[in-house]
Amino acid sequence: MVAAGTAAFLILFRRRRHEGEKVFTNKDQTDISTLIEKFNLTKREQEIILLVIAGKTNKDIQDELYISLKTVKTHLYNIYRKLNVQNRLQLMNVIKGNISEK
C-alpha cells in the first residue's frame, strides 16, 4: 500500500517539478506515505489526495484521471470520512499537521 502511495507521489513530484512548481521534500514524501498508510486510503484515494495537495479542483481531477465528477466527489467524500474532516481546508490542515509532527 505504501509503495503505491510512494509511486503516485513520485509521479506528482516529477510533474510538479517539470511544471516549475514548488515540490515536497523527501521527508514530506515519507510523511505523506505514512498518512496514506495510517488512514488506509485506496490507490485512487491516494491519487486524488495528491492532486488536492497540488491545488487541483474537482474538474481538474476529473480531467486528469478520466473519471466522472460524481466519482471524484465520491472519492473525496470517502477521504473526508476516513480522515474525519468536512472540507479541503480541514484536509490540508490534517496533511500539514501530519507532515509537521514528524
Which residue range(s) make up the domain with 84? 2-101
DSSP at 87 = S
Q: Number of helices (H) and strands (E) in the chain: give both, helices first.
A: 6, 0
pTM of full prediction above 0.95: no
Q: What is the pLDDT of residues 34-46, one digit of tens each?
A: 777 888 999 999 9
Cell of 27: 521527508
CATH number, position 17: 1.10.10.10
Q: How many domains does the chain have?
A: 1
pLDDT in tens, 17-60: 445 455 455 555 656 777 778 889 999 999 999 999 899 999 99
pLDDT tens digits for 70-87? 999 999 999 999 999 999
Could you identify the residue written with the cell 477521504?
Answer: 79
